[in-house]
Amino acid sequence: MAEPKMRNISFPRYAEYNCAFKYIVEQALGARYVMPPALTKRTMELGTKYSPDSVCTPFKTVLGSMIESLEAGADTLLMTHGLCRLGYYGELLEQILRDLGYQFDFINLSDYDMDKKKEYIRIVRRINPKVNPARFLAQFMEGLRMVEYLDEIAAEYYRNCGFDATKGSYKRAYQDFLTAMYTAQGRNDVETGYREAKRALQAIPLDKPARPLRVGVVGEFYTAMDAFSNLELEQKLADMRVEIHRWMNVTNQFLHYGGQKNMRVKIKDLSAYDMGPTSTANIWYARECAERGFDGLVHIKSAACTPEIDVMPVLQNISADYKIPVLYLTYDAQTSDVGLMTRLEAFYDMIDMRKKVL
Amino acid sequence: MEHAYLGIDVGSISTKGVIIDKDDKILSSQYIWTQGDPIGAVKELVRLLEEQFDKQRYQIVATGTTGSARKLVGTIVGATMVKNEITAHAVGTTTFYPDVRTILEIGGQDSKIILVENGVAVDYAMNTLCAAGTGAFLSSQAKRLGIEVEEIGDYALRSTHPTQIAARCTVFAESDLVHKIQLGHPREDIIAGVCNAVAANYLNNVGKGKKIVSPVVFQGGVSKNQGVVAAFERTLGCKVIVDPNGHLMGALGVAILARRGSGRQDFDFAIENMEFRTREASCGGCSNHCEIICVYRGEQLIDSWGNRCERGARVH
């Protein structure tokens, strides 16, 4: 019998997590990973052209990225499930891509019951029937560890990169870390890359005032975390010498959410119900930032993101109660950052002058 | 020679300039239309400012630019301070009205609200994806009704029964307005209705969730419209202050910021006779195709921007 063909799997671009998807596909699942090209204007043009107009921007980005993956030779696309409209997106994406004439196998996690462990085995067997379960488990866990490292280093980076004494040294160390993660072939590469990045970042001298400006970032799961989609908001604000804090990432939301078990209870006075996949965490973290005396909050969402629209009135209450300014930003498929810069500069001027007076 | 400071505010619709002395007294000021040509408008502005300005007595030692073309114009005039229009408006207004608590601003294409406490901006909002209810909307409706935009205020004040116009969105407001015209509503009432719609739209969108506390200062081009001022006063139930120089507040603010800043560079009126041009170059470094703007004085490249990574720095 002929050897079954090795799959060429792709998952759309998502912040810097694609190196972890690559690691899991290659090391744990024994398949090939097709790295989708970095998101560009072309991705958005493709995505916007073939998407329903009123759908939220991440759908357009994901569709554009999937088309670019197929162009790059992917024969299997993986799509996540989700707790908002995202849960329906897989089906729609597949239909649009089939109508465009692409041939591929589509693995939609929404088709599976992700609460059951058995379902994970079904997915793994579908991707590669000959997978070795022991190797799969070990390498899958290492892939998740890479996700944790990515989030930990990114958080450290955005907290400090605005303050490095020699401009650009922080950025270089972060880029080196990402390169190590994107090229990791095994456990040793991941662990060494992480340790070296930790050491490199800690060795960089910082020129940080005793009370730096601190801004908390909350918002919709895709746009708040993906630098291309939010026009590099965190980098832009950090470059003005601001500490950026964001709780929302894959580690906190999916891997360690258990540690925040009482989040719902903690925000009961602000919001009686869960209003979507990220509302509870965003409201909880916004108040955390306010109580810790942060200088401002930035709320990020794509246009027409209903769960995050529901969060906004609660943020207004937090803003009034704790006297913390909130910058609300709505993103669509625009690629010019001129308007964003105006708002960010004004926000920075405001929190800076405010800190000196209040 | 005494020191003077120049502030230039280049917006989408109008270009404003002021020269102030060290006590923020206005020595020269101008307000002209941008007409889609910020470079041409600034050269004309500088020429007009020069006419009113006593060059024997004063020397401009610092220049600030603001407004949506602040970067381009800052490069051309050799600005020592390039500041966003929100900060410029806040600084300008709090200098002349230290007690102000709320600044309403409606310009040609954008609108913003700034909340002030103890003379410092503490919160602000600006329209994001939609330019509803700004000066551009009023201009196009004035044209439709066959009157000058400057006359809108007088018409609105003559109305006793303003027509109800949907304020949710400019596009809907416009179709609503057309229907009311065709039904035979008097012109004054329609115009008053439009002014009410602008105020309501602003408070529902930009002002949403913000606590508006008196004293309220209203500025930007639309503040010259008495109809909108009256609509704000009625809705907010308090007096709305409109400064005679309200339309210059951004330029004043950035002139003050230039004065307070550390940068010093003598301003040369000769730029009104220099040739400036811009060119767009597309970077081929990756499929993002960054649009890079190159600014030339004569044949010399003086600045460029628009690339997202260092690869674009080579493209000129």
* % of chain A with per-residue pLDDT over 70: 97
CATH T-level fold of A210-358? Rossmann fold (3.40.50)
| Same domain for B121 and B103 | yes
The 8-class DSSP code of residue A37 comes to P
Query: How many domains, in total, are found in chain B?
Result: 3
Q: Do B119 and B234 reside in the same domain of the chain?
A: yes
Greatest alpha-carbon pair distance for chain B in Å reads 65
Q: Which residue of B has its CA nearest to A344?
A: B84
Min distance B312 CA to chain A CA atoms (Å): 14
In this prediction, residues A197-221 reach a mean pLDDT of 95
Same domain, B58 and B111: no
Residue A253 has pLDDT above 90, yes or no: no
Count of beta carbons in the 10 Å neighbourhood of residue B145: 16
- Residue-wise pLDDT for A31-55, tens only, equals 999 999 999 999 999 999 999 988 9
pLDDT of residue A356: 84
State residue B140's pLDDT score: 83
Residues B245, B218 contacting (CB under 8 angstroms):
no
CB of A40 within 8 Å of a chain B CB? The answer is yes
- Sheet containing strand A213-219, strands side by side: A242-245, A213-219, A296-302, A326-331
Partner-chain residue, chosen from B68, B125, B129, that has the shortest CB–CB distance to A332 = B129
Same-domain status, B6 and B69: yes
B169-B174-B176-B180 Cα dihedral, nearest 10 degrees: 150
**pLDDT for B313:** 66
B84 and B125 assigned to the same domain: no
Q: What is the pLDDT of residue A13?
A: 95
Kindly write down the DSSP assignment for every residue of A200-255, as one continuous string.
HHHHS-B---SS-EEEEEEE-TTTTT-TTTTTTHHHHHHHTTEEEE---SHIIIII
Which residue, B242, B259, B284, sits at the end of a domain? Answer: B242
Chain B residues at the A interface, defined by Cβ less than 8 Å, are 68, 83-87, 90, 117-126, 128-129, 209, 211, 286-289
Asked whether the predicted pLDDT for residue A303 surpasses 90, the reply is no
What's the pLDDT score for residue A133? 87
Number of H helices, E strands in chain B: 9, 13
CATH number at residue B156: 3.30.420.40
Q: Is the peptide bond before B215 cis (omega within 30 degrees of 0)?
A: yes
User: Left, alpha or beta for A102 (phi > 0: left; psi -120 to 50: alpha)?
Assistant: beta
Q: Which residue of A has its CA nearest to B289?
A: A41
Question: What pTM did the predictor assign?
Answer: 0.89
Q: For A8-131, give the CATH class.
A: alpha beta
Q: Where are the beta strands (DSSP E) in A121-173?
A: none
In the prediction, which pLDDT does A142 show?
96
Q: Are residues B164 and B298 in the same domain?
A: no
Q: B231 lies in which domain range?
A: 98-242
> What is the mean pLDDT of each successive set of 10 residues along chain B, which is 316 residues long?
94 91 94 90 94 92 93 92 94 94 89 90 80 77 86 91 79 81 90 90 85 93 91 94 92 96 90 85 81 86 80 63
Residue B21 Cα, gap to closest chain A Cα (Å): 24
| pLDDT beyond 60 at A2 | no
**Structural domain boundaries in chain A:** 8-131, 134-208, 210-358
pLDDT band at A66 (very low <50, low <70, confident <90, very high): very high
Question: How far is Cα B206 from Cα B232, in angstroms, rounded to an integer?
Answer: 14
Place of tokens 């809705």: B235
A38 neighbourhood in chain B, CB within 8 Å? 286
Cβ contacts (< 8 Å) between A313 and chain B: which residues? 209
Interface probe for A, chosen from B71, B84, B291, B293 (most Cβ of A below 10 Å), is: B84
The SS3 call for residue B230 is: helix
3-state SS, residue B115? strand
Is A37 in the B-facing interface, judged by CB distances under 8 Å? yes
- State whether B87 and A313 contact (CB < 8 Å): no
- Domain match, B215 and B142 both: yes
Tell me the pLDDT tens digit for each residue of A125-158. 999 999 988 999 999 999 999 999 999 999 999 9
Task: State the smallest CA–CA distance between residue B284 and chain A in angstroms.
Answer: 12
One domain, residues B143 and B238: yes
What is chain A's percent helix, strand, coil content, to nearest 5? 55, 10, 35
The reply to whether B105 and B124 lie within a common domain is yes
- Do residue B118 and residue B18 come from a single domain? no
Do B135 and B43 share a structural domain? no
Residue A17 phi/psi, 5-degree rounding, is -80, -10
A346 with B286: Cβ contact below 8 A:
no
The reply to whether domains A8-131 and A210-358 share a CATH topology is yes
pLDDT at A259 over 60: no
Q: Exposed, middle or buried by CB within 10 Å (0-12, 13-18, 19+), for A118? A: exposed
Do B131 and B85 sit in the same domain of this protein? no
